[in-house]
């Protein structure tokens, strides 16, 4: 029977877990602040914030918010790079019971305006670097993160506000330049289950986590919130740099890091890598894009500690993990479903396929978004309903499970490009390119990049006389920082199927010949 993914889905229902005790972020922070006192909580380039200082300031941020009438059910936005004050502010908003909305500073100004309007946040925290942009987003009040202590003033430190499983924790926006970006909602049930799950990967109170990806990314939040929940220490980098990452890792005896594949690649290419003492490392984590087997081999050989590769979505649902030390023969996969995750494969019509078949990967687990904010239609599109009425998140990724239950990702159903760990949608870039008067037809594809893993390439059928570099620069001026085209190349025409669909596989093949599978 064909399954209609849009039928009857108003809110995704996650898997039920019997006998669970959910971690509540606010009370756990208060407990950790009392327990760990002078132990470092967050370290950045400005200094060290102890757990006691972190707890006091977060509690007073919450008190200031309460004085403004902000609490459960309200949304507070931010636009800032990584810093200790950014983490404190994030924690303080959650402490108050409100929902945190970290806006992606790599997005275009137009997209940021849509996101702020969509979430409705009237209060926006911004760093000096992004203050000018923040002022254009329409918030009633903008607070400079560098002045957070002064803004808090003599506000009282309040106890963490009691929240329920369905109260909103945070909301992450998907990238995009066309239409309204999708707000991916996470409730306290979602994040609490992540805290519990991540405890099995060795990140405990004696751990030191390197934070080098932006706090608005779910990749970062998965690790950072788990570190705070476990009482660990976080070393914050405002911007990733290979040598500085290695210096800080050695200086602070880092035990854990969450990185995207291109960062591992850059670190392995760093001439000074072997000069640093990284012996304290216990576990490195990788997500956002598949980690090539050849790269895993280099990291496992040269960098102490294990690698855990995760596959999943910001929306939740599907979740696999590859323990690289335990499964050296499976480095070409993204691992096995994590405990409690139900993952299946479906065909184009939504029919479930036998195990081992090639199709779109769908998944269900205890950590699933309730849905996209203010967008029930997109929620329905992202949902597959099984014959027995269970909700699964559609990944848009094509893959298969092997005989040992390991997931092989073989292709993408949608023309998504993963560059530097960030998702780029070809349709968004094509929509911008089509606005150029010299562009008659266009296709954007992923091509290999040593620096980014993949990078977008625009293939353009020009109208008359045109300059490829001028078109690229014009388009990049309208795209977000993580979306920019590496180049534009001209074609006489673009290959199409009988029904007029551009055959992107044919366009990609010449660029990927000889690349590792």
- pLDDT reading at 3 higher than 70: no
pLDDT at 516: 61
pLDDT at 20 over 90: no
Q: Is the pLDDT of residue 283 over 60?
A: yes
- Residue 10, pLDDT above cutoff 60: yes
| Structure-model confidence comparison of residues 152 and 178, the more confident one | 152
Q: Which CATH number does 22-37+51-193 carry?
A: 3.40.50.12780
- Mean pLDDT, rounded, for 196-218: 86
Q: 290 or 450, which is more confident?
A: 450
Residue with the bigger pLDDT between 418 and 433: it is 433
421-425, 429-433, 486-490, 504-508 — which is least confidently predicted?
A: 421-425
Given CA atoms 354, 357, 359, 362 in this order, what sign does their dihedral have?
Answer: positive
pLDDT of residue 200: 56
120-162 pLDDT, tens digit each: 999 999 999 999 999 999 999 999 999 999 999 999 999 999 9
Q: Quick one: how far is CA 482 from the chain centroid?
A: 13
pLDDT band at 497 (very low <50, low <70, confident <90, very high): low
Query: Rounded CA gap, 208 and 254, in Å?
Result: 5
Per CATH, the homologous superfamily of domain 415-512 is ANL, C-terminal domain (3.30.300.30)
- Please tell me the predicted confidence (pLDDT) of residue 482: 86
CB pairs under 8 A, 24+ apart, for 272-275? 272/243, 272/246, 273/242, 273/246, 273/302, 274/302, 275/246
Q: Is the pLDDT of residue 517 over 60?
A: no
pLDDT given at position 431:
82
Which of the four pLDDT bands, split at 50, 70 and 90, describes residue 1?
Answer: very low
Instruction: Name the least confident of 48-62, 66-80, 168-182.
Output: 168-182
Q: In the chain, where are the structural domains located? A: 22-37+51-193, 314-413, 415-512
Banded model confidence at residue 69, pLDDT cuts 50, 70, 90: very high
For the entire predicted model, the pTM comes to 0.83
Q: What is the pLDDT of residue 4?
A: 40
The pLDDT tens digits for 457-491 are: 999 999 889 999 999 999 999 998 889 999 999 99
pLDDT at position 292? 82
User: What fold does the segment set 314-413 form as a domain?
Assistant: Luciferase; domain 3 (2.30.38)
- Arithmetic mean of pLDDT, 260-282: 93
pLDDT at 234 over 80: yes
CB 121 within 8 A of CB 75: yes
Q: Are 507 and 494 in contact (CB under 8 A)?
A: yes
C-alpha–C-alpha distance, residues 453 and 446, integer Å? 9
Contact 33, 51 (CB under 8 A): yes
Task: Quote the mean pLDDT of the chain.
Answer: 90
Out of 12-21, 417-426, 429-438, the most confident range is 429-438
Q: What is the pLDDT of residue 150?
A: 98
Q: What pLDDT, in 10s, does the model give residues 362-388?
A: 999 989 999 999 999 999 999 999 999
Q: What is the pLDDT of residue 279?
A: 98
């Amino acid at each position: 029977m064909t399954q209609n993914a849009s039928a009857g889905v108003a809110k995704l229902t996650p898997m039920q877990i019997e006998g669970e005790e959910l971690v509540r972020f606010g009370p756990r922070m208060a407990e950790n602040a009392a327990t760990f006192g002078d132990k470092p909580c967050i370290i950045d380039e400005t200094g060290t914030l102890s757990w006691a200082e972190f707890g006091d300031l977060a509690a007073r941020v919450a008190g200031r918010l309460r004085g403004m009438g902000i609490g459960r059910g309200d949304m507070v936005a931010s636009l800032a790079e990584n810093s200790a004050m950014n983490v404190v502010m994030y924690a303080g908003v959650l402490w108050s019971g409100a929902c945190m909305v970290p806006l992606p500073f790599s997005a275009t100004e137009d997209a940021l305006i849509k996101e702020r309007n969509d979430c409705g946040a009237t209060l926006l925290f911004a760093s000096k670097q992004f203050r000018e942009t923040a002022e254009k987003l329409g918030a009633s009040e903008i607070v400079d993160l560098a002045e957070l202590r002064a803004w808090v003033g003599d506000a009282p430190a309040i106890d963490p506000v009691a929240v329920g499983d369905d109260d909103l924790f945070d909301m992450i926006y998907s990238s995009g330049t066309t239409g309204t970006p999708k707000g991916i909602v996470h409730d306290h049930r979602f994040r609490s289950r992540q805290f519990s799950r991540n405890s099995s990967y060795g990140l405990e109170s004696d751990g030191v986590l390197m934070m080098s990806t932006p706090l608005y990314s779910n990749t970062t939040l998965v690790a950072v919130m788990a570190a705070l929940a476990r009482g660990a220490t976080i070393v914050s980098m405002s911007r990733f740099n290979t040598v500085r990452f290695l210096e800080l890792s050695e200086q602070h005896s880092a035990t854990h890091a969450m990185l995207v594949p291109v960062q591992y690649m850059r670190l392995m290419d760093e001439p000074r890598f072997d000069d640093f003492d990284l012996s304290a490392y216990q576990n490195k984590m990788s997500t956002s894009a598949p980690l090539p087997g050849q790269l895993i081999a280099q990291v496992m050989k040269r960098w102490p500690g294990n690698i855990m590769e995760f596959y999943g979505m910001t929306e939740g649902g599907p979740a696999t993990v590859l323990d690289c030390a335990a499964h050296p023969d499976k480095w070409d996969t993204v691992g096995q479903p994590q405990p409690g995750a139900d993952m299946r494969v479906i065909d184009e019509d939504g029919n479930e396929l036998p195990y081992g078949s090639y199709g779109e990967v769908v998944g269900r687990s205890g950590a699933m978004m309730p849905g996209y904010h203010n967008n029930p239609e997109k929620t329905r599109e992202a949902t597959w309903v099984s014959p027995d009425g269970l909700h699964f998140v559609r990944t848009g990724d094509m893959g298969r499970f092997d005989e040992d239950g390991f997931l092989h990702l073989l292709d993408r159903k949608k023309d998504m490009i993963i560059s530097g760990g960030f998702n780029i949608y070809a349709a968004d870039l094509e929509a911008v390119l089509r606005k150029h008067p010299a562009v008659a037809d266009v296709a954007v594809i992923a091509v290999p990049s040593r620096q980014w893993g993949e990078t977008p390439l625009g293939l353009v059928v020009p109208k008359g006389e045109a300059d490829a570099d001028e078109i690229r620069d014009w388009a990049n001026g309208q795209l977000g920082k993580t979306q920019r085209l590496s180049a534009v190349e001209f074609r006489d025409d673009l290959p199409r199927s009988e029904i007029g669909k551009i055959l992107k596989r044919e366009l990609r093949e010449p660029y990927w010949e000889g690349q590792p599978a």
